[in-house]
Each structure stands twice: as structure tokens, then as C-alpha cells.
Structure 1
Amino acid sequence: MIKAADIEATLLSMADERQARQLLRFFKTGPGEYGEGDKFIGLRNPQVRMVVKEAWKETPLPEAAQLAMSPLHEVRLCGLLIMVEQYLRAMKKGDTETMSRIFESYLALHPYINNWDLVDLSAIKIVGNHEVMNPELILMDEWIKPDGHTLWQQRIAMVSTWMLTRKGHIDKCFGRAGFLLSSPHDLLHKAAGWMLREVWKKGYRRELRAFLDENVARMPSIMLSYTCEQMATDERHEWQSRRKSGR
């Protein structure tokens, strides 16, 4: 068994103060910014993943969850990535009990999953796969709503549709993106646009055009930009023109 304290010590041994200062700026940790107060030790994702690769098989879920509650960003990321690997192994084995246990633990940890990289690198594979495997789940349809839910809960709900789209369940993406049209957060606009772009990439172009036809006039510009990124230039410009003209 590998303990959380030992994994954290390994991560701390690789700390880079200069890189940490750069990450503080990159992840917007200043007063009033979305990552306000977060702390970094200066590790890049490949360094964290190297530790995950060595540790995930021997790390009990409670120890991974303890890592995910750390005040240090990279330590939280490590814990979440360990949970991802454990979830994927359980899914491969058809171990639904372990999958549910990891999923429930992940949900309980949502106050600590509080930056876009932490969300994007974990939610798609844990929450997204769990929704595919359990179509009766409606919790993410609640988390996408702004009332009583944080920016990060909403982003978890939005990016998790990536897996649903891969399986042809595109209505979830459209429904959740619709809730974010009036959001004040550009991180949610980007997430929705990213997921809508995935709908296009998977070939559901008629359906995406219908969604845009209904919503383009009130779509935030960055959401539309992400959505149309893979389109032909003429079509992309047409949607942008329609948004500006409000039609």
C-alpha cells in the first residue's frame, strides 16, 4: 500500500519555485480571479503523471481522496488522476461496485476540483463514463444549473458530455450548453463550445446546425468561436455574422 503522505513527499521533492510562479499567473490565482488563493509547487503534467503511473495500482481510494483534498494544486491533480486510472481499470473489469465507489468519492470531492485542468483531466473519464454506463443518472443535469452550483460543478457537468456524445447521446450536450448561454463565466462558455465542437466532429452536423439556428443570436462569442472552429471558413463566418446581427 502506498500512502498519500509518501506520494506528496515525492511530488514535493520535484518542486520548482520558478515554475510555480509561472503557474500562479497561468491559472489566475490573483485576488478576484477564478483560481484565487490556489497554491502550486511548480510541476508540469508529465511529472505528475509519472508519479501517478508508479503509484495508482497500490494506492487505496481513501489515500487518493486525501491527495485530492490537498491545498497544493499538483497534489490534488495527482489524487484525481489516480482515481481516473482506478476507475478505468474497474470499468475494464466490469467492476460496477468499485466504479460507483470512485464516482461517489469524486462527487464528494467537488469543492477541491476547483480549476479547469483538474476538471477536464478527471471529469470526462470518471463522470462521463459513469453517465454512459448509468443512463438513469440525472445529477449532472442538476449541476449544470447555476442556482446553488459552483462554476466548477457546472464545468464538470458540461465537459462530461464528451463521453455521451461519443456514444451518440448528443441531447445531453445541447441541453447543458443551453443552460450556459446566459452564464457570465467565459470558462463555461469555452467548455460548452468545446463540447459542441465535439458534436460536429462526431458527424452530428445537421443537429448542431439546428441548435445554432435556434440559439446563435444569444450565444457568447467565445462559445460560438469554439463551436465553429472545425467548420469551413464560409460557414463559420456566416454563423458569426448571424450572431452579430442578432438573427
Structure 2
Amino acid sequence: MPDPTSSAEIVACLKALADPADKAKTAKRIPSEQVIGVRMRAVFDLAKQSMRVPLADVRTLLRSDWYEARLVAVSILDFRARAKRLSDDERRALFDLYLAEHQYIDSWDLVDRAAPRVIGTYLIGRDHAPLFTLAGSASVWERRTAITAAFQLIRAGDLDTPIRLIDMLLEDPEHFVQTSVGTALRELHRASPETTRDFLARNGERLSSTTRRLMRDSRAASPRSGA
């Protein structure tokens, strides 16, 4: 089968791949969504086959009512952002599209699929102000994007902004922000155990139970011990 060349062809492929068993599984996991019922591996494979579709079609997919269509869209953005030979203008176009259509990136897995490389990688060596704007948003998914994108900064050795974002969101009331904060602390610990110990010594009492659990699971030092 030829690679899809438009959003309409991608949706048609998704519907051809539909399976009632997969629809039931996906609907149980994300009950508020309209789902077609396609295995995640098949969704990702389709996104790889569709990497060259115009960004206008990616935008159309992001605005789709179908969960799997939006997942294809963010996966295309992620796969493109991974490319080594990508111009600054091309990376900026991916970054701008993600932010412009963020209202449709409305679940934890859609955020996690693209935020690190589309947002985080683009901002390495650039002004990090967009992350602080996102972190101050009323949208839980925009706040999750801010802290999830920061994973890439940590991996690049830039710890200042991630620490500020962790501090900003450490007491966030939303579970889906807290889980990303915990993961950010885990990444920070891998990059610099000493920096993490210092942060926890000062802020350990502010950690939620979710963040504490993630830190324990990663074998990071307990904030209670100050270690």
C-alpha cells in the first residue's frame, strides 16, 4: 500500500485497521475520547509512513475528533523532530504548530509523545520563556508540556530552567502534572545527584505522595533523610 499523502488518507487507514477488541481496550483507558480502535504499534507505524505529509494535514489530524488521528499527528511531529538533518526553520515550524494547536493535545500520552523533542529539543540553547508561560497556564496539559519538555534540557546538561520549573510546579494539584514533576526529578537525579540532594533538602516537605513514590521507584535519595 502506498504511503498516505493526506489527513483523509491517514484516517481512512486508521479505520481500515480498526479492531473491536482494541477499541474496547482504548475506550476503557481513555473513556472520554472518540476512539477508532487501533493498536498503538499500528498507529506509530502509520505515523512513520506518513511523516512527509504537509503540516497543514498534521494540523487537520490534531483537530480531529478521533483519538488515534491526534496520536498519529503528535507522533509525526515527534518523528520529524528526531531527524538530525532538520533546519532551524523546520524545527520552528514543528514547535509553532504544537503550541498553536495545544488545545487539541489534551491527554497525558499526547503530550508525552511529542513535548520532549518538539518543544524541549527546540529550546535547547534558546530562550526558555515559553516553558514558563506554559507552566503558568490554567491548562493541566500545558503545564505537563512545560515540565515534560524540560526532560530534554536536563539530558542536554541545562539544569537551571528545569529546577525552576520543578520548583514552580512542585505543589501542583493535578496528578498528571505531579507525575511529570516526579519524572523530572528522576532525570535530574541521573544528571546530577548532588544538585537533586540539595533541592530535596530544601524542598522535601513540599513533595506530594506521587512525587515521593516516583523518587523511591527511581532509587533516588529520600527527601526525609536530606540525602
**TM-score normalised over the length of structure 2:** 0.91
After TM superposition, list the pairs within 5 Å mapping 1:100-139 onto structure 2: 100-132=92-124, 134-139=125-130
Indicate how the Cα distance of structure 1 residues 23 and 46 shifts in structure 2: closer, same or farther if over 3 A, else same: same
Q: Which residue of 2 aligns with 1:210?
A: 198
**How far apart in 1 are the matches of 2:165 and 2:194?**
18
Instruction: Output one character per residue of 1:123-145: Cα deviation in whole Å (capped at 9) or x when no partner.
Output: 0110010111x422311111112
**How far apart in 2 are the matches of 1:94 and 1:70?**
27
**How far apart in 2 are the matches of 1:70 and 1:152?**
18
1:96 aligns with 2:88: yes
Q: Which residue of 1 aligns with 2:15?
A: 12
Q: Which residue of 2 aligns with 1:77?
A: 71
8 Å contact kept, 2:128–2:161: no
1:25 aligns with 2:13: no
Q: Which residue, 146, 164, 185 being the options, matches 1:196?
A: 185
Deviates more, 1:110-119 or 1:220-229: 220-229
1:169 aligns with 2:126: no
Q: Which residue, 166, 169, 175 being the options, matches 1:180?
A: 169
Structure 1 residue 242 displacement after superposition: 5.8
Indicate how the Cα distance of structure 1 residues 169 and 228 shifts in structure 2: closer, same or farther if over 3 A, else same: farther
Structure 1 residue 182 displacement after superposition: 2.1
Q: Which residue, 208, 216, 226 being the options, matches 1:220?
A: 208
8 Å contact kept, 1:80–1:118: yes
8 Å contact kept, 1:217–1:242: no
8 Å contact kept, 1:201–1:230: no
Instruction: Output one character per residue of 1:108-165: Cα deviation in whole Å (capped at 9) or x when no partner.
Output: 1100111111000110110010111x422311111112xx430000000000011100
**How far apart in 2 are the matches of 1:222 and 1:183?**
11
CA RMSD of the aligned region, Å?
1.8
Amino acid at match of 1:142: T
**How far apart in 1 are the matches of 2:162 and 2:11?**
36
Amino acid at match of 2:7: A
**How far apart in 2 are the matches of 1:106 and 1:69?**
12
**How far apart in 2 are the matches of 1:18 and 1:223?**
34
Deviates more, 1:18-27 or 1:74-83: 18-27
8 Å contact kept, 2:172–2:178: yes
Amino acid at match of 1:62: A
Stretches of structure 1 that go unaligned for 5 or more consecutive residues are: 30-36
1:154 aligns with 2:146: no
Indicate how the Cα distance of structure 1 residues 162 and 104 shifts in structure 2: closer, same or farther if over 3 A, else same: same
**TM-score normalised over the length of structure 1:** 0.84
Amino acid at match of 1:22: K
**How far apart in 2 are the matches of 1:94 and 1:175?**
29
Stretches of structure 2 that go unaligned for 5 or more consecutive residues are: none
